[in-house]
Chains A and B, each alone.
Chain A
């Protein structure tokens, strides 16, 4: 083959970014398009558990084996995205003893190391565990920041020549002579970084092969080519606590159930989850009972949760898939395995492959398998290197050493920044300019924000997922406007204003599910600050009526 084969990857979640990286490293010419931000879909809406495989060790041992294997890989290649927290499967008195034993056996069969702890020993590790927890199995679960992992994959793909387009929605698949040859894409603000206020454009991107890695949205892409891809999206709630009540992943040791996991995630804990099939991955009810269920059920494991502050809740949709004819009734029983649909074989439509199902922990393995398949189709023989080459930021372990200088930051802020930036920390933080903390909840400085803005334009939500700025207990109340300030003067007042509104609304969206107690008081303070002190609810530049300035008090006549 003469020219470099071209591939279009649709979907900027973990799978899509993983595929883009894999193929770009194999030397293919890759374009990735994503309708929103990177992680916009399911990747940005999961609980951040890095599975040891323990959760699948009884019901789905193949998945369990993959998980433990991939967890080990990610600990190597993505050290700055992963926290090796360890996990516990805890058993309450009413939980089945037989299942506890089966779990233990299952882990052994899958090569997942375990240790059985008495209730007392478990509480020594996690003092907030309920006093009546009988015992627990310790497993090597971990926590992962899906945002950083996804962004790092995309950055690596870019470093290998890939083009990454966010806010670029696929509006049609290009089919010529019975073959998919590309896609029509609508750029919200033109190609390149997102810029508020910039006019949108459409573009036809041609490719030798198109990959549909859109998860719960895969059916929609399929529809564009008249294909039936039966994704069964299933929603689940995640409730974010203000602080880490635990530093270990806490699973309840029961066969299956809602509200059975607490994952320590950065500065917070995330409670999960529910499992309800929905029709539309973008429009489904976010229900009060789901949040209440998280708190009430998980309080049985960690009583402190009953009174603790939650700062928001969010929902994600699992891209579950069943081969036609399986007919599983309960979405909880649908397999978590992934499926590679070669539409040439399956539907007689070459040029398009869909990947559905699967789980976050094994995204790299899925990407590898799909990339092998596509390379095979395109006659490329390069081997996968994604398991061996560290992701950007994760190359040099020494950066995280305490010996590193603190860049003039107080130690917890420096430590968090370095954990987020990995080996990029010196490049980003070593500045001669004043570098004040802008988001004090998460300890994010101006330099880190500027670095993120350089990568994501006016999209402050993209800045947020790169830095965690505005993800702490004030939920942007004290920093959202200061983040928008950082856009100026590179971007103008109107763009900064629109970007602030987007971020502010996004922060509000999740907070609505946490509006009682402290978070309601916090929300009132934020509302008072933004509406009263700044008058951002009225009197802005978007106000339709012009103000008759002359009618108002112009000061005392003598001007003193």
Chain B
């Protein structure tokens, strides 16, 4: 619910509103959460600062400790100004993982950024609108996907890109991601949707062990996110086929953007709208026994961590507790090691980059460990650096150089790795990997599909 935005009914005198309806956090609009108490966990040890990829390349950036517990602790209610450097934070969330003491760093950054955008950034500025457009990628993607060929041609027209940089501050250095000629959802509908999935899952279960498999345990709701829908439907299809192979019935409910790009741009109101859609849509399914599966690690990060930190819609915590990344889920519930042991991979050498958001969910090593057991496939971890793109960050003209400087270490490591193909779970990391090395980039689900699903 959004009672944050619905002050009490003016027709009812204050004193007649029962106190048990009252939740302190909801008194203010949610963009003004008081996170000062989060500073209670801080040791001042600066471990977070030494993990920050932005501070690494930008000496003027004061770092996560300052942006988080210090800035919050020095704050008073009537203080309007957040240090503008908060806009330089890329929301990679590595500081969360670094902190030895549970300081809610990224939450503090998200709130401070939202406060800054709300109170200090001009709503008439090009930066604001550029960020708003980037944050709402899904809307543009929806339009673009209606005319994919035309859009692709226009988006990657050199002079037009230069114009984009001049007018909107979008870097001309990058090529826009191509739109697929058929979105994942179009494919899914054409394939027969959930009914077909149910049938295929049943067949797979019958093949794998028959009637003892309980269908209730084998239901997942897929949160595909924007990118797998509009740009890389092959990843989404790999998810569907792999899960069906293990006997899972899949549904693909109505959904919006996970909110990741909106958090990173301080557009919490936009994020809240989409989050409400997502939570209500998936919470219902969880009640029916479904778990939520993401193929993008930033989407799973948003549903699991950012939603409960930032929103209080009914079902938020439920959705968080039932959301998994695709590989993670299979590793927990299936004997994936055994399956891969028996399988044969195509001879392939891959340079794997763990996205920061995967790291934050404890998933940074799973792909490497998993494919260790698959004959023919060699996966090499290219180190624990950040790719530098951080979603929309690397698209901004003024951040482009910084983004590439952060990525430099990863590019070098990829160059040194044996494989000439990259692999990662995150679509924007994939963009950066491709941009920096020219390699083709794959998703672990695609590899899994190749190894396990004979079609």
Contact = CB atoms under 8 A, between A and B. Distances in A.
Given A120-B17, A443-B70, A518 B41 contact: yes
B66 A440 contact: yes
A410 B82 CA distance: 10
B169 interface: no
B20 to A, nearest CB: 7
Interface in B63-83: 65-66, 70-79, 81-83
A473 interface: yes
A129 B34 CA distance: 13
Given A412-B75, A478-B44, A243 B39 contact: yes
B43 interface: yes
A267 interface: yes
B27 A123 contact: yes
Contacts of B73: 242-243, 267, 441, 472-473
Interface string B21-55: 01011011000001011011111110000000000
B20 A131 contact: yes
Contact of B65 (A124, A415, A440): A440
B19 interface: yes
B122 interface: no
Max chain A Cβ within 10 angstroms of own Cβ: one of B72, B76, B84: B76
A441 B14 contact: no
Contacts, number: 103
A313 interface: no
Interface in A428-466: 440-443
A201 interface: no
Nearest to B40: A309
B32 to A, nearest CB: 9
A493 to B, nearest CB: 26
B43 A120 contact: no
Interface string B79-116: 10111110000000000000001000000000000000
Interface string A292-303: 000000000000
A247 interface: yes
Contact of B40 (A243, A442, A477): A243
Nearest to B39: A243
B62 A410 contact: yes
Given A120-B8, A245-B37, A127 B71 contact: no
A548 to B, nearest CB: 35
A127 B24 contact: yes
A304 interface: yes
Contacts of A440: 44, 65-66, 70
A502 to B, nearest CB: 22
Given A443-B70, A521-B101, A474 B76 contact: no
Given A119-B19, A412-B75, A473-B73, A243 B37 contact: yes
A442 B39 CA distance: 13
Contact of B14 (A121, A244, A247, A442): A121
Contacts of B66: 410, 440
A84 to B, nearest CB: 10
Contacts of A129: 24
Contact of A247 (B27, B65, B76): B76
B281 to A, nearest CB: 30
Max chain B Cβ within 10 angstroms of own Cβ: one of A124, A308, A402, A473: A473
A160 B154 CA distance: 76
Interface string A397-422: 00000100000001111011000000
Given A440-B66, A521-B43, A415 B79 contact: yes
Given A412-B70, A440-B65, A443-B74, A244 B36 contact: yes
Contacts of B455: none
Interface string A108-138: 0000000000111101100111011000000
A120 B22 contact: yes
Interface string A278-291: 00000000000000
- Nearest 5 A/B pairs, CB to CB: A309-B40, A118-B14, A247-B77, A243-B36, A127-B24
14 contacts: A118-B14, A120-B8, A120-B22, A124-B27, A243-B73, A247-B78, A411-B82, A411-B84, A412-B75, A416-B74, A440-B66, A443-B70, A473-B42, A478-B45
